[in-house]
Structure 1
Amino acid sequence: MKNKLAPVFLSLALTGCSMRLMALRTTADLLETGVTAVYEETDVRYAREAMTSHLKLLEALLKNDPKNPKLLFSLTQGFGGYAFLFIEDENPERARYFYLKGRDYGRRLLAIKPEDAPALFWTAYCWAGWAALSLTNPDAIADLPKVEAMVRQAEQLNPGYFYSGADQLLGAYYASRPKMFGGDLAKSKSHFENAVKKTDGKFLMAQVLYAKYHAVAAQDRKHFESLLDGVITAPADVLPEQGLPNQVAREKAKRLLGKIDELF
């Protein structure tokens, strides 16, 4: 009798595991949709609180499904965005921590999807964010060529992905590096101009980065002011699906203008 029941119990156990995994993946799909809602939110404080809880829940789900590419992607993008939008300006040390978390999730994702443009871009985004805040760390400097290669690969696979994100990263990269180590203000300007043109000037963070990196490196105060004034005066609904990044861009623009005499 026991031998006859064993296959039944095994079948029930496997069915239970399968149903649990299906439920986890359904939840992951819903949370992925939730990211869209967060990026549409224009109340920065509310979005920050929501994203904090959202990321913790994603990590809990990942423990039960550690190779789920949707969860890994959401965590890579999520921690990169969280560090940049909410933490970097007020606490660089904490931002480094979150960028590293995003990078490490991204590397796990790339082990599953090595030729995926979004995976490459967001892993590079997190890696670049960490490196930019760790310039006294030789390992961070040594990693930059690898990050650049990942960004270029992402751009080749999916040109213009995420509001010409590759152009924004490369523009910052060429403006922030010394000339002897590959810095090039002309290349930086070209990448930023491409980003602004391809997004019709609607993704306001591109102009903020253009001002922060290229205009400061070139010591072009007039262009710095023009870019940031344009961000601050842009219509509130200029790109509704990116309401949160655009609202944060306005706040960053105001802070940068407040430091203009220190920067020029």
Structure 2
Amino acid sequence: MAIQNQNDPDTVRQGAPAYLIMIDSFIQGSPDDVDLLISGSKLYGSYASAFTTEPARARRLTEKSRQYALHAFCIKLPKLCNISENHFPDFEKALQKVKKNNLPVLNTWGIAWAGWIQSRTEDWTAIADIPKIKAIMLRVVELDPSWDNGNAQLYLGVLNSFLPAAMGGKPELAKKYFKQAIRYSEGKNLMAKTLYAQYYARLVFDKQLYDKLLNEVLASPVVSPGMTLVNTLAREQAQKLLNESDDFF
């Protein structure tokens, strides 16, 4: 999408609602077009996470993102359409039936579901689905670790660094995934380093790593095909986090 190559977040913030309406109209006209559904899911999810501060609105947008992603998944894999209702062992087993040619719908569904949970952090029923998100991302990595420039590893890094080790978190596993995300994007996805600092370095109180990662983001070019917008947002977030460094540590 052209929107991903924008380097002015304010332009996107103001113009994206028109894109949302447009993609809705396209999907209404072709409700089973998988490519349109994937694009719609990504657009709604990205707008909700990057530009929406009102909780109720974020929940509405991420619900639309998840609906589009799930519909795309169900079109491609109708026999697996209801696996989200399974208990975890059966869910994990069912994911093994997803093959590499269906990575686009699996990856999109996992990202949309993660965004849906992120907008409902006060809902413990939603939080309880996090292991299923991890399982989806692990299946993506298993099928193709380089898929989407290592974005699945980035999600796994964040998901494994929510809690300190003493409370069941897995910070060292998170560290491994963050490093993989950076490697598979060839360092071009600046959000990987920003989130590595925000979630892992803060969690383990490593100020040296924290400052190093954030300064690297600030020194890196933001323009990269398909990643310019997210890199611009990553740089803004990195500056904010760096300003908080001395207070946090």
CA RMSD of aligned residues (A): 2.0
Q: How many residues were matched structurally?
A: 226
Asked if 1 retains the 8 angstrom alpha-carbon contact of 2:164 and 2:203, the reply is no
Shift of residue 182, structure 1, vs aligned partner: 4.7
Corresponding residue for residue 7 of structure 2? 42
1:65 pairs, out of 26, 30, 40, with 30
Corresponding residue for residue 140 of structure 1? 126
Alignment of 1:75-224 (within 5 A): 75-87=40-52, 90-114=53-77, 115=98, 116-177=102-163, 179=165, 182-224=168-210
Question: Structure 1 pair 213/200, CA: closer, same or farther in 2 (3 Å)?
Answer: same
SS at match of 1:136: coil
Higher-Rg member (1/2)? 1
1:30-73 CA-to-partner distances (Å, cap 9, x unmatched) read xxxxx1x2111112112233322112111122222221112111
Gaps of 5+ in 2: 78-97
Q: Which has the higher contact order (CA 8 A, sep 6+)?
A: 2
TM-score where L is the length of structure 1: 0.78
Corresponding residue for residue 17 of structure 1? none
Whole-Å separation in 2 of the counterparts to 1:105 and 1:180 = 38
Corresponding residue for residue 18 of structure 2? 53
1:204-255 CA-to-partner distances (Å, cap 9, x unmatched) read 0111111111111111122111111111111243x24321111111111112
Q: Answer yes or no: is 1:260 the counterpart of 2:225.
A: no
SS at match of 1:74: helix
TM-score where L is the length of structure 2: 0.83
Quick one: percent identity of the two aligned structures?
A: 31
1:87-106 CA-to-partner distances (Å, cap 9, x unmatched) read 2xx44443333222211211
Corresponding residue for residue 88 of structure 2? none
SS at match of 2:3: helix
Question: Structure 1 pair 174/79, CA: closer, same or farther in 2 (3 Å)?
Answer: same
Gaps of 5+ in 1: 1-34
1:100-140 CA-to-partner distances (Å, cap 9, x unmatched) read 22112111111012342122222211221232343321111
Shift of residue 178, structure 1, vs aligned partner: 5.3
Greater CA deviation, 173-182 or 114-123?
A: 173-182
Whole-Å separation in 2 of the counterparts to 1:38 and 1:51 = 8
